[in-house]
Chain A
Amino acid sequence: MAEQVYTVASDSETTGEDKSQPSFPDVAIGIDIGTSKCSVAVWNGHQVELLKNTRNQHGMRSYVMFKDDNLSAGVTGGATRENAHEERDILSGSAIFNMKRLIGRTDTDEVVQASKALPFLVQTLGIGVRPFIAALVNNMWRSTTPEEVLAIFLLELKALVEMHLKHPVRNAVLTIPVAFSRFQQTRIERACAMAGLHVLRLMPEPTAVALLYAQQQQQLMHDNMGSGIEKIALIFNMGAGYCDVAVAATAGGVSQIRALSGCTVGGEDILQNTMRHVLPNFDSLYAGQTMDRIKSMGLVRIATQDAIHKLANQESVEINVDLGNGQQVSKVLDHSEFEQVNRAIFEKCEKIINQCLVDAKLVPEDINDVILVGGCSRIPRIRSLVLGLCKKEVSYKNVDALEAAVSGAALEGAIASGVTDPSGSLDLLTIQATPMNLGIRADGDGFAAIIPRNTTVPARRDMLFTTTHDNQTEALIAVYEGEGERAEDNHLLGYFKIAGIPPAPKGSVEISVCMDIDASNVLRVFAGVVKPQGPAIPPFIEVRMPTLDDGHGWCGQALAKMYGKTLDLAVLPKKLQP
């Protein structure tokens, strides 16, 4: 029987002849920029292909080396084997790495504070501005920004892909951590724009893995002629910088994200905890970066990292480092010690897994497959912890821990580029959910969530508010994103004022605030007076978020201090609503 082909013609060039030959130049590439490693993949017309660099690596170290006037990123890693950057060069202060942890954060952020233990310069003033970051070039600190570093890296990555595909590349799907705020997302988009890449979509990492899983399940179903039974997968992804969990329900190529949760905890924290354990006077020893301190800190870092990797396969490991100046570190580290040192991190992982299950309204018995991905998924304690919570003996086998996310991103890139595949392997759909609550400041320092986390997108929700003072004519709408109970515990995305509220006793005016996330994941906030009605009310205001640029750390506090009392709103109790 001839296959039915439906054609929706929207331009004259439509022909159906080249249906098995997707036009290559338009296929978006998939990029997974990891805190530690980065990879890139593309749909080659039949399957996802992971690209290798000139040194034959799939996973390329994420850093940019500043040397004299030359910049070189980890994509080529010094271009050839002879010129290869060694790990100790990367840790010499001349390279900037961990961009993904620093991007879009202010100097009051604890993640930025923790980044001071890195060999390059991270200077903070603690006033809610972007941190000062610099690399050592000819014994001088040369300033840069996380966006710039990321853009340089992406530029080199783009060149690699173009060399491989032999045509220009413009569009990309990037994976991002679940914990990334909307503000951080705009920074990633900016870095991509600087590198000449158009972001087709930013995809939370575990949802990219879920897409790959959906494709595999779809394939299995075709092969076995099985029925389209819904399968629930819990995806746990932990890399060097972030930890993410997703629960996805999959059937018939549709991957429905039931819940997402994430936090800024990863291998970098494990490494730092372990370094401080191995070298108890780590912080005092390395306070203030001098050339020899940077060098010896690099040695400790390499030795500790190596030890952690070895601990995945052996009971204990010996760490020996010569710090110079006659100082020597010699320590035997075993599993129980390692786990004790990093207990808080493992607890955090447990917490977000449990939260994700609760949010998905599922119990461990509902889960069909547990998918463990990311570099940290190799740590035995992490594996046993996740499998234990999900009451499973083994994890899902058909994905590569380091390549699953980028493969999913490449699939999404192909699908989003409109590529079809005769075998149906691109007949996939991901129904995404919002990872964080979106709402406004109300009732003093409170946070009223208008779109709760794990709401399916696209979404539109609204909520009624009222004035807190008699004859209050203005109200501040401060939009936040996050999990905190108080507004200040969340990320401020933007703010605006409703003016011209008709004078009335407090509590009698009704102000509607509506939030809309459209198909492009753009957030818009609509607000205005809905009661009283009449000619004397001001027009509604529509604002696309986030509106804030850099240096917003203290903006929320400034707003609260200046206007918190006078322009406050209260959530209208539901019993008073019509």
Chain B
Amino acid sequence: MPHLAATPSTSSAAAAAATVPAALPTGSGCVAFRRPWTIPRPVALRLRLRAQGVRRESGGVRTEEQEQETTARTFYDLLGISAEGSPDEVRAAYRRLALKYHPDVSPPGAAAENTRRFIEVQEAYETLSDPSRRASYDRALARGVCRLAFSGSRAQRAYYHHQDHEEKSGWRRSWEDQITELKRRSMTKDSEENLSWGARMRRRAEASSAE
């Protein structure tokens, strides 16, 4: 049984990659915000999305980007940039994907899934936009130990939250924790990965009460 603490991530890379939401133009002019979907609002339901102006440029790379996402393995793949991408490219990619996955611009049906994607994009951006974090991540990648961008592992998460308060040495340890976790997960890949955290919690509760 995998350690529960390692799993409360919003989604695994596998789950995310398996369900690419319906194509949504990045230049969605019709913006749906956090609450609107909870109230009846005909205007919002009539989503008229336009591709226009500057956003049309980003529309051009959309297909390619989505292909990359279905096989996203690293933060770079996820943001759709090369490993040599400049800080400006990281920021531009982040904005492009935020316009695509942020719940405020998501159609009602895809809001939950897109929220998960957005959190992943955010994590990728936070790592790659910080030079020291990016360097650590690159080192881990170079050693070929960081195949998955998102393991949702507890160690990795802790590492991101607390890195500001940690010594540099803490970084490596966290990564090693994550590697161990990744190895372990690849050994015992369970179907629960595709469920939401809440669903996993319920399933676990059911399983334990049934035993």
Of A3, A417, A418, A459, the residue contacting B50 (CB under 8 A) is A3
The closest CB in chain A to the CB of B155 belongs to A577
Interface string of A247-270 (1 = CB under 8 A from B): 001011010100000000000000
- From A80-88, A391-399, A529-537, A544-552, the one touching the partner chain is A529-537
Contact B43 A519 (CB under 8 A): no
Binary interface encoding of chain A residues 433-464 relative to chain B, with 1 for a CB under 8 A from any of its CBs, else 0: 00000000000000000001000101111111
Tell me if A464 and B154 are in contact (CB < 8 A).
yes
Q: Is B157 an interface residue (CB 8 A)?
A: yes
Q: Decide if B145 is an interface residue (CB 8 Å cutoff).
A: no
Instruction: Flag if A11 contacts B45 (CB, 8 Å).
Output: yes
**Nearest neighbor of A1 in chain B, beta-carbon distance:** B56
Q: Which residues of B contact A530 (CB under 8 A)?
A: 3-5
For the complex, give the distance between the alpha carbons of A16 and B30 in Å: 12
Chain B contacts with A in 85-132, Cβ cutoff 8 A = 88, 91-92, 95, 98-99, 102-109, 111, 115, 118-119, 122, 126, 130
Is A324 close to B, CB under 8 A?
no
Interface residue? A561 (CB, 8 A): no
Separation of A23 and B202 alpha carbons in the complex (Å): 43
A26 touches B42 (CB 8 A): yes
User: Pick the contact of B197 from A519, A521, A526, A574 — CB < 8 Å?
Assistant: A526
Structural contact, B48 and A19, CB atoms closer than 8 A? yes
Q: Among A418, A421, A452, A459, which residue has its beta carbon within 8 angstroms of that of B47?
A: A418
Among listed B32-40, B66-74, B134-142, interface-contacting one: B32-40
Q: How far is the CA of A494 from the CA of B56 in the complex (A)?
A: 47
Indicate if A431 sits at the interface (CB-CB under 8 A).
Answer: yes
User: What does the 1/0 interface line of B130-163 toward A look like (CB < 8 Å)?
Assistant: 1000000000000000000000001101100110
Q: Which of B12-20, B76-84, B203-211 is the interface stretch?
A: B203-211
Q: How far is the CB of B109 from chain A (nearest CB, A)?
A: 8
Q: Binary interface profile of B, 185-200, with partner A (CB < 8 Å = 1, else 0)?
A: 0000000000001100
**A417 touches which of B41, B158, B181 (Cβ 8 Å):** B41
A266 to B42, CA, bound (A): 41
**B208 touches which one: A4, A5, A415, A535 (CB < 8 A)?**
A535
Contacts A251-B95, A463-B158, A578-B177 hold; do A201 and B35 have CB atoms under 8 A apart? yes
A467: min CB distance to chain B, Å: 15
Give A312-353 as 1s and 0s: 1 = Cβ < 8 Å from B's Cβ atoms. Answer: 000000000000000000000000000000000000000000
- Residue A412 CB within 8 A of the other chain: yes
In whole angstroms, what is the CA distance A462 to B22 when docked?
Answer: 30
- The CA-CA distance from A13 to B46 in the complex, in Å, is 8
Contact B157 A461 (CB under 8 A): yes
Which residues of chain A are near B118, meaning CB under 8 Å?
Answer: 458
Which of these, A3, A429, A463, A518, contacts B99 with CB under 8 Å?
Answer: A429
Question: Is A148 at the interface (CB under 8 A from chain B)?
Answer: no
Cβ-defined partner of A577 (8 Å) among B33, B92, B154, B205:
B154
Docked pose: A456 CA to B161 CA in angstroms: 12
Once the chains bind, are B46 and A6 in contact (CB under 8 Å)? no
Q: Total A-B pairs in contact (CB under 8 Å)? A: 226
A8 touches B49 (CB 8 A): yes
Q: In the complex, what residues of A have CB within 8 A of residue B6's CB?
A: 578
Q: Which residue of A lies closest to B121 (CB)?
A: A456
A431: chain B residues within 8 A (beta carbon): 98, 102
Q: Which residues of A are found within 8 Å of B24, using beta-carbon distances?
A: 8
Q: Does A10 contact B (CB under 8 A)?
A: yes
Give the distance in Å from the alpha carbon of A458 to the alpha carbon of B205 in the complex.
26
Residue A510 at the chain B interface, CB threshold 8 Å: yes
Inter-chain CA distance A466–B51, complex, in Å, is 51
B55 and A418 contacting across the interface, CB-CB below 8 Å:
no
User: For chain B, which range describes its interface: under 10, 10 to 19, 20 to 34, or 35 or more residues?
Assistant: 35 or more
Q: How far is the CB of B7 from chain A (nearest CB, A)?
A: 9
Q: Which residues on B sit within 8 Å (CB–CB) of A19? A: 48
| Residues of chain A with a CB closer than 8 A to B8's CB | 460, 462, 512, 514, 526
Q: How far is the CA of A456 from the CA of B158 in the complex (A)?
A: 16
Min CB–CB distance B20 → chain A (angstroms): 16
B197 proximity list for chain A (CB < 8 A): 460, 514, 526
- Please determine whether A417 and B43 come into contact, CB atoms closer than 8 angstroms: yes
B91: chain A residues within 8 A (beta carbon): 230, 249, 251
Q: Which of B169-188 contact A (CB under 8 A)?
A: 170, 173-174, 177, 180-181
A6-B39 in contact (CB<8A): no
Asked whether B1 lies within 8 Å of A533 as measured between CB atoms, the reply is yes
A1-55, CB < 8 A from B: 3-11, 13-16, 19, 22-23, 26-27
Cβ of B201 and Cβ of A528 under 8 Å apart? Answer: yes
Closest 9 CB pairs of A and B: A519-B103, A418-B44, A416-B33, A530-B4, A6-B49, A539-B205, A8-B47, A535-B211, A418-B43
B residues neighboring A (CB under 8 Å)? 1, 3-6, 8-10, 22, 24-25, 27-36, 38-39, 41-56, 88, 91-92, 95, 98-99, 102-109, 111, 115, 118-119, 122, 126, 130, 154-155, 157-158, 161-162, 170, 173-174, 177, 180-181, 197-198, 201-202, 205, 208-211
Instruction: Beyond A27-B43, A577-B5, list 16 extra A-B contacts (CB 8 Å).
Output: A9-B47, A11-B45, A16-B48, A221-B54, A251-B91, A251-B92, A252-B95, A416-B31, A416-B33, A427-B29, A427-B55, A458-B115, A463-B158, A512-B4, A520-B38, A531-B4
CB-defined A-B contacts under 8 Å, sample of 29: A8-B49, A10-B108, A13-B46, A15-B46, A26-B41, A228-B54, A256-B95, A415-B104, A417-B36, A427-B27, A427-B55, A429-B102, A431-B98, A456-B126, A458-B103, A461-B161, A462-B8, A463-B161, A512-B4, A514-B8, A519-B34, A519-B106, A519-B111, A526-B8, A530-B4, A536-B208, A574-B158, A577-B155, A578-B6
